[in-house]
Amino acid sequence: MHSKVRAYQVTTREAAEYLLRADKSLCLVGPPGSGKTRLAVLLAEERGYDYEFVTGREDLNYSDLMDVEEGALARSVIRTWARYTCGKTPVWFIFDEVNRARVEVVLGEVFTLLDVDHRVRFTLLRPSEELARVLRESVREECGSLNPVAEKLAEYASRRGLPMPLAWRMIATMNLLDMGHLYRIGYAFARRAPLLPVTSLGHIVEVPEDLEPARPGRTDICAESVRSTLADLPKAVRREPWSLLPRNVVARFEAPLAPLDTERIAPHLTAPSRLWAIVEEVSRHFERLGLLVGPALYVDACRLLAANLAVPHELLADVIVASLLAPQLTFVAPRARLETALGHTYTIQALQELLGVTEKLLGPKSLSSWAVRAYVAQIAPIGSV
């Protein structure tokens, strides 16, 4: 460890706020009794948002979530649109113990719509008179009576269906002891709902003062993506069904990354920064493990930065490594175990190097170091790391 460091402190709750601000859903990962479910509920309730709740189980299927009458996920979407008609807050979806369900089957096409950018292009709930009826009933329950906005929205739902609201979020939870399920869930889920470690610790991020900021090359991709989002999504919500809602509702809830000014944030996306120095260095070690880091990581990193300009870059780098990079380590587990059985240690050594680099760049008490140690402990045989 270097003699001089810059020290910051971040809690899981603060890290979750950074991700939610950047239009991300998330998955809270931790040991039993660490408060994952309580935190998921708190993140919604602190905003004054209601939520629909479901617990994962092996026989849970897509219709259990998406039936317009009984499905918890569909209800959260319908209730959000209903509440919007009378100026109320969105409804989020809490998926407790997500690892117990067959996520790739249960979520189906919802996977794509976890990315906010896709929500204005695709319909989640298909058009039907039943959908319109359920929406009207929901408006009566949420608002007390039907209103002209609700009638227009119900008529639209019968003809065109309903998209997923831009303010909608899923907060999932996963038991740390069941992280082997990640290999089955896949990176598609882990990227769309970053896996954020939940512990009872206060995490200290300690970054060496002599770490030189790096001008990133690949972040040009994500800088353009953020600019595109800021330009395109405000235009998109001028179309139906968003245009049917009161303007103050759209401005308050349905304006991703708002209120952000493209010209103001552009320099922050491409300027030399410790954030990029840390992310690029850790990414190189992931690539040595055969885990290729594509443009999607840099897109997510840029959006996280754009939505949290006042947060120290070192803290954002810690959140990126802990929630977006570290979960990929589960995908080297089969190879590491096979190599160990054959008497080889290449992957184990690479994991040791990664842990050392993470501790050097972010400090041994950082969220990232905690996460990497937790994943490595599940991958490597006892005593090998």
Q: Which two tokens stand for residue 109?
A: 């096409």
Q: Are 352 and 360 in contact (CB under 8 A)?
A: no
* 25-172 under CATH 1.20.120, yes or no: no
pLDDT at 306: 84
Q: Are 306 and 225 in contact (CB under 8 A)?
A: no
Q: pLDDT digits over 134-147, tens only?
A: 999 999 999 999 99
What confidence category does residue 260 fall into, taking pLDDT thresholds of 50, 70 and 90? low
Domain ranges of the chain: 5-12+203-233+259-379, 25-172
Q: Over the chain, what is the mean pLDDT?
A: 86
What confidence category does residue 186 fall into, taking pLDDT thresholds of 50, 70 and 90? low
* Pairwise CA distance, residues 244 & 371, whole Å: 44
Q: Are 212 and 11 in contact (CB under 8 A)?
A: no
pLDDT at 244: 94
pTM score, two decimals? 0.90
pLDDT at 1: 46
Burial 1-16, CB ≥16 within 10 A → b, else e:
eeeebeebebebeebb
* Pairwise CA distance, residues 277 & 269, whole Å: 13
What confidence category does residue 56 fall into, taking pLDDT thresholds of 50, 70 and 90? very high
Q: Does the pLDDT value for residue 75 go beyond 50?
A: yes
Q: Are 173 and 36 in contact (CB under 8 A)?
A: yes
Phi/psi of residue 199, each to 5°? -135, 170
Looking from the CA of 330 toward its CB, the CA atoms found within 13 Å total: 19
Q: Does the pLDDT value for residue 53 go beyond 70?
A: yes
Residues in the chain: 385
pLDDT at 259: 52
Task: Report the percent of the chain where pLDDT is more than 90.
Answer: 48
Helix H or strand E encompassing 292:
none
pLDDT at 2: 43
Q: Does the pLDDT value for residue 304 go beyond 70?
A: yes
What confidence category does residue 236 fall into, taking pLDDT thresholds of 50, 70 and 90? confident
Q: How far is CA 48 from the centre of its chain?
A: 20
Least confident of 18-32, 190-204, 345-359: 190-204
Q: Which of 21-25, 91-95, 177-181, 313-317 has the highest mean pLDDT?
A: 91-95
